Structure 1
Amino acid sequence: MRKKGLVAFGLAAVMTASALTGCGGASDKKESGKKEAKGTVYYLNFKPEADAQWQELAKLYTDKTGVKVNVVTAAANQYETTLKSEMGKSEAPTLFQVNGPVGLASWKDYCYDLKDSDIAKQVTSDDFLLKDGDAVDGIGYAIESYGIIYNKNLLKKAGYTQDDIKSFDDLKKVAEDITKRSKDLGFSAFTSAGMDGSSDWRFKTHLANLPIYYEYQKEGIENTDAIKGTYLDNYRNIWNLYINNSTTSSKQLSTKTGDDAVAEFVTEKAVFYQNGTWAYSDIADLGDDNLGMLPIYIGADGEENQGLCTGTENYWCVNKKASKEDIQATLDFMNWCVTDDTAVKCMCGAAGAMPSGQDGMGFVIPFKKNLTSDNPLVNIANDYVKQGKKPVTWNFTTMPSEKWKNDLGSALTTYASKQTDANWDLVKKAFVDGWKKEAAAAKK
């Protein structure tokens, strides 16, 4: 299905896939002038943070072509539930997404083969194609990176720079030193590791990716039905660091939200904030020159050569059960999104990139017309690649189910409130036993 070389291909290669440096309103010749509108597009959008941008882009396309594009955005953490509900309706989504091989397993019977589509010809590498045998069931449309975002000025006030942090031991030393002096400094090391539904995905999914990644690397595999948990001690160490050196008591994490963490970071209550390139617009007020980004170090061998966690869980799929007209309309819309100059600017740009003046989506797109980003976090991720640092692949797309993630999140919350070996055993059980159980259930 998804090839191992996805991230090895690197952001740098994607960035250089296009020499374009600006956008106007110029359009693909095929799209110039309205043609008779046939078919409609119903896009079930995965990203709540990009809803306004997709609504504007849909209207722009409809005004240009006459083809109606309806965008519905699922609530955070509710995409799969919403997709199941919408697919059962007479007017089902014509364009939807899956997060990778595990997501595809549930929806492959609905996926139109994109192998010969126009958009497939725009992809800069086959690594971004989600395959089932020879069929192309999905195409990645957004490459993103995450790590530990930090405030350069606060780190400097604490007496450090990024050069002082090259490993987990370094990060631990700095974080614990900041905690010891937090009253005098006026800030904490980390923002709150909230386990409310708006925030817990950062830890039960994104942070959990690290022990999975290193186990896969050690075993030479890309997927498994039975995770061993080889690096769970490392997972415990980084989790301990987050929850014991933050703005918030570890006993209160179940009530802390994603907005709380953003507010703590933007108001300079903490130096470090785990999140990704998509979070730029939330924290841009700190100033581009003040934002840095570190890899998530967990104490694994070789992590000094590690870059950011880079990949995609955003694969576009076309509903093959839609009418021929709706399928073609959807294929045309997808291709327009990645070839039309204005649309590409909307997808790749950050501040003020939309025709209305609102911020763009800030994506790196794996297509020929990708633009150099004005999102500094994206460019930091790209710099790591240029330095020869190996990006950490997004292996969380192989997690067996949402239930697995939720059970792990619950165990992490229990452990945070009382950090005993017995409670960590609950985390191990959710991670290892839960994986085996959910992987087996998925095959039934």
Structure 2
Amino acid sequence: MRKKMEKNMRKALAGCLAGLMIAGCLAGCGSKEPAAENAEQPAAAAQEAGGETTADTATDAAADTTANTQEEITFTWMINKVEIKNELEEVAQAYMDSHENITIITEVAGGSVEPYGTRLKAKLGSNDMPALFVTEGPSDYEMFDEYLVDLSDSKLAGMADESLLTIATMNGEVKALPMAIEGFGIIYNKTIFEKAGINPDDITSMEALREAAQLLDSKKDELGLEAVFCLPGKETWIIGSHMGSAFLNGEFEQPADAWNAPTLEWQNQAAYKDFIDLQVEYGIVPQGDTKNVVNLAYSDQIEKGLALGRVAMVHNGNWVSSIIKGISPEMIENDEIGFLPTPIPGYREDCVRVIGTPYISLNAKLDESVQKAAMDFLEWLYTSDEGKDLVVNKLNMIPPYEGFDGFEIKDPLGADLLEYIAAGKSLPSLQNNCPSGFKNFMGEKVQEYLTGKDWDTCVSEMIDKWQELAAAK
């Protein structure tokens, strides 16, 4: 199935992604066909080097020639991908190795220590502002509007599908550029499922998921499991932003409807509770007290849990592949992990959620020379052969731009995500379309529930908070 889909990736995904407002963004990605030859004349620098000449090598050669004559520039790119901090630093170093006048500082923020948005707001209000930084939807575009360069005429905007740019457009300006296609669902260990005699294709409902959890729990000792799940209650972005937003699907027809909604009814909140309860009942419980689940962190779930085979399932996204690869590379190499859908009874029980993409913005408050240097770096990352290889094989990202013919997605979670999208079994995540502050508030209320607060009270407070935040826009 996967091999066949790769051969027809461009055709299959173009239609399927249109419904998610991300149509065509994977053009060429995953195809094993060679890229078309470039008919332009070789650049002199490339001829002297004796290497193959393409538009990319000509551009790279020109950039390298001018690099030594330009002023020395230092800038920061600030990203919310804590799980690939080392890889992001390696990408920056690769660019600096061939651009000696450029120094790139990689700053990664997010997680339970300090929310990314809090850190970004502080940095933009300081004398140490990042040149490139991740922005998370309409609320950020409004809050940080004065810091955002209009990227409508940028080279990368011309390489992205129009639907991707529509998501990041406000008041007729493209406020940010896509970095990758991402999605999340229930990540499971295929080897453990096979040993337990569970067919993952049968898990297309909450009831089936519970039955699988019960079976795995009964075989924990022989499977070498500490528990079936690990719910990282310390991480509001996982239990709220990602997990909670999945159960907002069905409430709104389109992501934009959520942003414009003055109130929230939340018909699926009971299913949200059931999903949390299931992960606690069959999950890791420190010191035998369920209240201690709020002390479990991202690292407990992935590095100390899934990557070591201590748990069979976690709710997270394809970005964790880089972490797992560093701990148990055989899991990635042997295709030992995959996605199960996050089931919502009465709505769609067979879908993963597609975030669409993290977006990156350019700081309008910095000198034009710094802005240009930052954009040159970003364009190198997605247009040069070296950069594209780093995107796919170092950052393990599904690229959102054209021009990636010949680059196969080797990450099993990324490949699974593409299969769900191509099969029409994906839904847009609403996390960045909630009123500003709501997604983290969801996580805080879930933490209160985990430590003993009544669920109905928590839900009532979440609904009231939605109305309050929506009215304040």
- The aligned residue for residue 469 of structure 2 is 438
Structure-2 change in CA distance of 1:341 and 1:423 (3 Å): same
Question: Per-residue deviation at 1:431?
Answer: 2.2
Structure-2 change in CA distance of 1:363 and 1:184 (3 Å): closer
Aligned partner (choices 388, 393, 416) of residue 380 of structure 1? 416
Question: Per-residue deviation at 1:90?
Answer: 3.6
Structure-2 change in CA distance of 1:146 and 1:5 (3 Å): same
Question: Contact conserved, 2:231 with 2:284, CA < 8 A, in 1?
Answer: no
- The aligned residue for residue 254 of structure 1 is 294
* TM-score, structure 1 as length reference: 0.85
- The aligned residue for residue 353 of structure 1 is none
| 1:122-201 correspondence runs (5 A) | 122-129=159-166, 130-182=168-220, 186-187=224-225, 190-196=228-234, 199-201=235-237
Alpha-carbon distance in 2 for matches of 1:240, 1:6: 30
Alpha-carbon distance in 1 for matches of 2:444, 2:117: 20
- The aligned residue for residue 93 of structure 2 is 59
Structure-2 change in CA distance of 1:185 and 1:17 (3 Å): closer
The amino acid that maps onto 1:310 is V
Question: Contact conserved, 2:78 with 2:109, CA < 8 A, in 1?
Answer: no
| 1:17-416 correspondence runs (5 A) | 19=33, 27-32=56-61, 33-35=64-66, 36-38=69-71, 40-77=74-111, 78-129=115-166, 130-182=168-220, 186-187=224-225, 190-196=228-234, 199-217=235-253, 221-223=257-259, 224-248=261-285, 249=288, 250-262=290-302, 263-284=304-325, 285=328, 287=331, 288-304=334-350, 306=351, 308-349=352-393, 360-370=394-404, 371-386=407-422, 388-402=423-437, 404-416=438-450
Q: Which consecutive unaligned segments of at least 5 residues does structure 1 have? A: 350-359
- SS of equivalent to 2:312: strand
Structure-2 change in CA distance of 1:90 and 1:179 (3 Å): closer
| RMSD (Å), alpha carbons | 2.9
* TM-score, structure 2 as length reference: 0.80
Question: Contact conserved, 1:189 with 1:272, CA < 8 A, in 2?
Answer: no
Question: Contact conserved, 2:181 with 2:397, CA < 8 A, in 1?
Answer: yes
Question: Contact conserved, 2:22 with 2:164, CA < 8 A, in 1?
Answer: no
Q: What per-residue deviation string (whole Å, max 9, x for no partner) do you get for residues 260-307 of structure 1?
A: 122222332322111111111333425233212101112133434x2x
- The aligned residue for residue 46 of structure 2 is none
Alpha-carbon distance in 2 for matches of 1:190, 1:200: 21
- SS of equivalent to 1:190: coil
Aligned partner (choices 450, 456, 459) of residue 428 of structure 1? 459
Question: Contact conserved, 1:25 with 1:341, CA < 8 A, in 2?
Answer: no
Alpha-carbon distance in 1 for matches of 2:90, 2:256: 44
Alpha-carbon distance in 2 for matches of 1:378, 1:25: 30
- The aligned residue for residue 355 of structure 1 is none
Identity of aligned residues (%): 23
- The aligned residue for residue 352 of structure 1 is none
Structure-2 change in CA distance of 1:231 and 1:159 (3 Å): same
Q: What per-residue deviation string (whole Å, max 9, x for no partner) do you get for residues 372-396 of structure 1?
A: 211111001112223x233121210
Question: Contact conserved, 1:54 with 1:71, CA < 8 A, in 2?
Answer: no
Q: What per-residue deviation string (whole Å, max 9, x for no partner) do you get for residues 38-64 of structure 1?
A: 454332222222322232322332332
Q: What per-residue deviation string (whole Å, max 9, x for no partner) do you get for residues 356-386 of structure 1?
A: xxxx111111111333211111001112223
Q: What per-residue deviation string (whole Å, max 9, x for no partner) do you get for residues 227-267 of structure 1?
A: 21111111111111111111325322111122212222233
- SS of equivalent to 2:212: helix
Question: Per-residue deviation at 1:136?
Answer: 0.8
Alpha-carbon distance in 1 for matches of 2:204, 2:213: 13
Q: What per-residue deviation string (whole Å, max 9, x for no partner) do you get for residues 378-429 of structure 1?
A: 001112223x233121210123234x344322322232344xxx71113212
Q: What per-residue deviation string (whole Å, max 9, x for no partner) do you get for residues 192-245 of structure 1?
A: 21212xx34221111111221221139993422322111111111111111111
Question: Per-residue deviation at 1:65?
Answer: 2.9
How many matched pairs? 420
